[in-house]
């Protein structure tokens, strides 16, 4: 009996130590991107890339990363970063202004946005996050999405997280009911520094 009790204590100590050592690691099946003042976890089987915004390469002052997984449906997320100086002077240097700017850039690229929801403001870890749902019209298919923006003091830039989701390509008329929870899961894994 004493031997079993000692084994339980040893296994518990080793397990607890491993959990403590690996407490910041991504979940099994996920990998982590670290750069430009933030980190985010994403599924390891996603196509993932770093891009410039509006052409060119990503810089410390503006750019984006994007993850995309296609199969039966589509799950795509992206994190856009930009310093206040990259916002046009007629747009307020606020999370709502960053959202306004991103929707303007998307519109200039020829993408049609509809059904923008009300801006919802929440506080996460002391940051004011402004978020909004939207639909993208693409080749007679409506894709549901959600976007949120906040200012990361540590990084000195705005971060904008977006998600678009199509549950099933064979039923394109069925809009995603999961886009909010998918967006929230990426937001929960995103850390700015």
**pLDDT score of 56:** 82
Question: Looking at residue 25, what is its pLDDT?
Answer: 55
Per-residue pLDDT tens digits for 155-171:
999 999 999 999 999 99
- Residue found under tokens 């306004």: 100
Q: To 10 degrees, the CA torsion angle through 89, 146, 23, 36?
A: -30
Q: What is the pLDDT of residues 54-101, one digit of tens each?
A: 778 999 999 999 999 999 999 999 999 999 999 999 999 999 999 999
Contacts of 64 (CB under 8 A, 6+ apart): 50, 51, 52, 53, 58, 78, 79, 80, 81
**24 pLDDT more than 90:** no
**Smallest Cα–Cα separation from 160: which of 118, 117, 138, 127?**
127
Residue 109's pLDDT band, with cuts at 50, 70 and 90, is confident
- Domain segments of the chain: what residues? 27-192
Neighbours of 26 (CB within 10 A): 17
The CA distance from 162 to 40, in Å, is 13
**Cα 158 from Cα 147, distance rounded (Å):** 13
Residues whose CB falls within 8 Å of the CB of residue 118, separated by 6 or more in sequence, listed in order: 132
Architecture label for domain 27-192: 3-Layer(aba) Sandwich (3.40)
Is residue 189 within 8 A of residue 110, CB to CB? The reply is no
* pLDDT at res. 22: 47
Closest to 153 (Cα-Cα) out of 61, 89, 60, 83? 83
What pLDDT is attached to residue 108? Answer: 82
Tell me the HSE value of 2 on the side-chain side, using a 13 A CA sphere: 0
pLDDT at position 82 is 95
Evaluate whether 124 touches 186 at the Cβ level (below 8 Å): no
* Distance between CA atoms of residues 64 and 4, nearest Å: 53
């Amino acid at each position: 009996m004493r031997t079993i009790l000692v084994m339980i204590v040893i296994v518990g100590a080793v397990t607890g130590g491993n959990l403590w050592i690996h407490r910041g690691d991504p979940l099994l099946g996920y990998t982590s991107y670290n750069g430009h003042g933030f980190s985010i976890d994403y599924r390891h089987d996603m196509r993932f890339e770093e891009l410039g915004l509006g052409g060119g390469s990503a810089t410390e002052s503006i750019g984006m990363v994007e993850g995309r997984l296609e199969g039966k449906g589509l799950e795509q997320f992206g994190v856009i970063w930009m310093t206040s100086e990259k916002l046009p002077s007629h747009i307020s240097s606020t999370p709502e202004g960053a959202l306004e700017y991103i929707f303007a850039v998307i519109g200039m690229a020829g993408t049609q946005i509809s059904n923008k929801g009300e801006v919802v403001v929440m506080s996460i870890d002391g940051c004011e996050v402004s978020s909004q749902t939207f639909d993208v019209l693409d080749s007679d298919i409506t894709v549901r999405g959600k976007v949120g923006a906040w200012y990361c003091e540590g990084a000195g830039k705005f971060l904008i997280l977006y998600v678009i989701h199509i549950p099933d390509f064979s039923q394109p008329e069925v809009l995603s009911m999961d886009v909010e929870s998918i967006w929230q899961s990426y937001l929960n894994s995103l850390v700015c520094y």
